[in-house]
Amino acid sequence: MSKLNVLSPYEQFLRDTFHADDPGLQRLQAEAGQEGLPAISIGPEQGKFLQVLIQTSGATKVLEIGCLGGYSGAWMARALPAGGKLIGLELEEKHAAFTRRQWAALGLADRAEVRVGPALDSLPSLADEAPFDLIFIDADKNNYPAYLEWALRYSKSGTIILGDNVSMGGRLADPDRQGNPGIQGMRRFAEAMAADPRLVSTVVPYADGIAMGVVK
Ligand SMILES: C[S@@+](CC[C@H](N)C(=O)[O-])C[C@H]1O[C@@H](n2cnc3c(N)ncnc32)[C@H](O)[C@@H]1O
């Protein structure tokens, strides 16, 4: 989980009451730490939020860009109905192998699959599996604008598109950081999410901020 996620007593109450990880997700996170995966996954609040979105929208096909150790994917795959499918795209073979093992251990191998490689190389091969009902972008920030274009191409009316880390740890609007490619990418992504006439969008201020748009 992100180091950004320092909780107030109230936030800790909410986590304990509404959003607690179960033993399977706790084990996933503990083993991710033991195997040296970076602690940059979403938190349980966001996982639960993704579950609520999947269930309220009736999503059956989900695409995730950036799996890390499979934590967010596990939350989402658990919310899918029988026959539902999550496809995760992940750059690092080590992360993908860990994710596969964890999803299998959680009983999700029948509905969640990870594909290895740069997402921009993998995305063109997904045309036959589109449209997706929910697309969660959580990978390299400089490519977020391109991921949004692919997400829109692979959407239909009602598809929910999400991008994590809009705040960039509070640096998004810092005038001294605007030369950073990740911040430039995130700004272009946020501006496109806000202005694209195909979307109705907002930002949910969980943790580092999640941009969320619904395709009209
Ligand atoms: C923030 S982590 C994802 C966290 C995960 N969604 C979770 O919350 O459990 C970002 C992941 O994106 C992957 N990544 C970075 N660049 C990528 C690329 N070009 N294509 C696919 N994945 C990429 C990284 O290897 C890393 O595992």
Stretch 101-124: mean pLDDT, rounded? Answer: 98
Atom 6 of ligand 1: nearest residue by CA position: 67
**Does 4 have pLDDT greater than 80?**
no
> Radius of gyration of the chain from Cα atoms?
16
Does residue 46's CB lie within 6 angstroms of at least one atom of ligand 1? no
Which of the following CATH numbers is that of domain 9-215: 3.30.300.90, 1.25.10.10, 3.40.50.300, 3.40.50.150?
A: 3.40.50.150
Atom 8 of ligand 1: nearest residue by CA position: 41
Distance (Å) from CA 165 to ligand 1 centroid: 12
Question: What pLDDT shows up at residue 7?
Answer: 87
Question: What pLDDT shows up at residue 157?
Answer: 98
Does residue 95's CB lie within 6 angstroms of at least one atom of ligand 1? yes
Per the CB < 8 A criterion, the answer to whether 64 and 77 are in contact is: no
Indicate the domain borders of the chain.
9-215
**Among 140, 142, 144, residue to substitute to test ligand 1 (most atoms within 8 Å of Cβ):** 140
Does residue 150's CB lie within 6 angstroms of at least one atom of ligand 1? no
Stretch 82-103: mean pLDDT, rounded? Answer: 98
Least confident segment among 4-8, 31-35, 42-46, 59-63: 4-8
Stretch 147-151: mean pLDDT, rounded? Answer: 98
Q: How far apart are CA 99 and CA 10, in angstroms?
A: 32
Q: How many CA atoms lie within 13 A of 209 on its CB side?
A: 15
| pLDDT grade for 1, boundaries at 50, 70 and 90 | very low
Stretch 182-209: mean pLDDT, rounded? Answer: 96
Comparing CA positions, the residue from 80, 119, 137 lying closest to residue 103 is: 80
115: β partners: 89
Question: What pLDDT shows up at residue 3?
Answer: 42
Mean pLDDT of the chain: 96
Q: Which two tokens stand for residue 102?
A: 């964890």
Packing angle between helix 71-79 and helix 23-34, nearest 10 degrees?
A: 160
Distance (Å) from CA 191 to ligand 1 centroid: 22
